Amino acid sequence: MAEILEINDLKNLARRRVPTMFFDYADSGAWTESTYRANEEDFSKIKFRQRVLVDMTNRSLESTMIGEKVSMPVALAPTGSAGMQHADGEILAAQAAEEFGVPFTLSTMSICSIEDVAANTKKPFWFQLYVMRDKDFVLNLIDRAKAAKCSALVLTLDLQILAQRHKDIRNGLSAPPKMTPKNIIDMAIRPRWCLGMLGTQRRTFRNIVGHAKSVGDLASLASWTTEQFDPKLSWQDVEWIKERWGGKLILKGILDKEDAIMAAKTGADAIIVSNHGGRQLDGAPSSISVLPEIVEAVGDKIEVHMDGGIRSGQDVLKALCLGAKGTYIGRPFLYGLGAMGKQGVTKALEIIRKEADVTLALCGKRTIADIGPDMLYR
């Protein structure tokens, strides 16, 4: 196996080890994928200031996100179907994050349930909520996250209707995959993935099946998810969700200054500047390009986090320089998971930490608190 030195190495290995439909599910954006590409490309346009002869001993990436100590300000983003990249994927990623000292966010659309992850981890994780039309189901999900001692609720605001990702349609994406000749061949050449899946019972959306009314089997689940996301979700809904939850609340999917101002008024603890990894509104700007104006508008009122396009520790530092207090990675950890399970998620985090640490030093800084716009060329 070639040496794993950068996130792209994990991506290439995942491509070989994960069935096409699930690899493509991760590596895709909406429609033309222009926003998906822009998220990464816009990071590469930002340049650091190299500084010399500055004491670079005793460096640290430790920081806090919503008051929680983190070994570096990089959380694992909520990603649906992570348990299809690798058997028991959400449990493995949560364990890797916990050992590394960074937050793990479990998606509503996960394969392993809230209870599965809680039973297999020691520290609290974060739970991401999609709001469905079935309000009893939503209330119950919030209560289940509370019972599992999740320490933050991440409310996603940018997926009330689903944008189109061409690859998912062409591949006939489903969890578990349908047993068509094409899928059978695709899986058969990936025995490691198949063995993992045969060894687990967790192969469908376990937060939902058995919990939502009229979702007992897989045929009804597919129609349930497309019909169930609530297109009427409004700022008023944030109030009752906040009240019911009663803990730390993060609003995910803000890309516009006006929305950021509204979000700051809700009393939430943080916002995530995000375009859902380029998977929703194609043609929207990259997250990193709008971060500065959002920080300027609300940075003194609410903690601002960002995600989208981070592929290295350098990208993390660029986001922090532009005012983010925390960042999230989606695909980088999914590629790690698909490539090498828990070890691959740890590897992704290690790569990012090393890149961030060396970059910090070469820019003449030692701690996260030292980071600011003066580290960048403007």
Ligand X SMILES: Cc1cc2nc3c(=O)[nH]c(=O)nc-3n(C[C@H](O)[C@H](O)[C@H](O)COP(=O)(O)O)c2cc1C
Give me the active site residues, please.
276
Nearer to ligand X, 65 or 366 (CB): 65
Residue 318, interface with ligand X (CB under 6 A)? no
Stretch that binds ligand X, among 43-51, 72-80, 87-95, 223-231 (CB under 6 A): 72-80
List the strands of the sheet with 126-129, edge to edge.
Answer: 74-76, 326-329, 303-307, 270-273, 249-254, 152-156, 126-129, 105-106
Residue 336, interface with ligand X (CB under 6 A)? no
Nearest to 259 by CA among 274, 245, 249, 278: 274
Size of the site for ligand X (CB under 6 A): 24
Residue 307, interface with ligand X (CB under 6 A)? yes
Which runs of consecutive H residues, i.e. helices, occur in 101-172? Answer: 114-119, 135-147, 166-171
Residue 153 forms beta bridges with which residues? 127, 249
Residue 97, interface with ligand X (CB under 6 A)? no
Nearest to 144 by CA among 110, 193, 97, 99: 110
Torsion angle of C-alpha atoms 345, 350, 356, 358, degrees rounded to 10: -160
The CA distance from 276 to 208, in Å, is 22
Cα–Cα distances (Å) from 190 to 1, 15, 116, 186, 249, in that order, read 16, 10, 26, 7, 40
The CA distance from 344 to 197, in Å, is 17
| Contact criterion met (CB below 8 Å) for 138 and 118 | no
- If phi > 0 it is left, if psi is from -120 to 50 it is alpha, else beta; for residue 34 that is alpha
Nearer to ligand X, 95 or 105 (CB): 105
DSSP conformational letter for 88 = T
Nearer to ligand X, 197 or 254 (CB): 254
Of positions 35, 171, 274, 346, contacts ligand X by CB under 6 A: 274
From the CB of 299, what's the least distance to ligand X, in Å?
20
From the CB of 108, what's the least distance to ligand X, in Å?
6
Of positions 310, 317, 337, 340, contacts ligand X by CB under 6 A: 310
Of positions 206, 331, 353, 366, contacts ligand X by CB under 6 A: 331
- The enclosing H or E element of 253 equals strand 249-254
Can you read off the two tokens belonging to residue 358? Answer: 């060396």
Of positions 83, 89, 309, 313, contacts ligand X by CB under 6 A: 309
Stretch that binds ligand X, among 92-100, 172-180, 222-230, 327-335 (CB under 6 A): 327-335
Nearer to ligand X, 326 or 366 (CB): 326
Residue 77, interface with ligand X (CB under 6 A)? yes
Nearer to ligand X, 83 or 277 (CB): 277
| Contact criterion met (CB below 8 Å) for 94 and 114 | no
DSSP conformational letter for 82 = G
Of positions 86, 248, 276, 365, contacts ligand X by CB under 6 A: 276
Of positions 39, 63, 113, 225, contacts ligand X by CB under 6 A: 39
Nearer to ligand X, 190 or 365 (CB): 190
From the CB of 49, what's the least distance to ligand X, in Å?
25
Of positions 19, 73, 78, 326, contacts ligand X by CB under 6 A: 78
Of positions 107, 207, 286, 346, contacts ligand X by CB under 6 A: 107
Nearer to ligand X, 84 or 365 (CB): 84
From the CB of 169, what's the least distance to ligand X, in Å?
15
Residues in the chain: 378
Residue 327, interface with ligand X (CB under 6 A)? no
Which residue type occupies 247?
Answer: G
Q: How far apart are the first and last CA of the chain?
A: 41
Contacting residues toward ligand X, per CB under 6 A: 25-26, 39, 77-80, 107, 109, 128, 156, 252, 274, 276-277, 279, 307-310, 329-331, 334
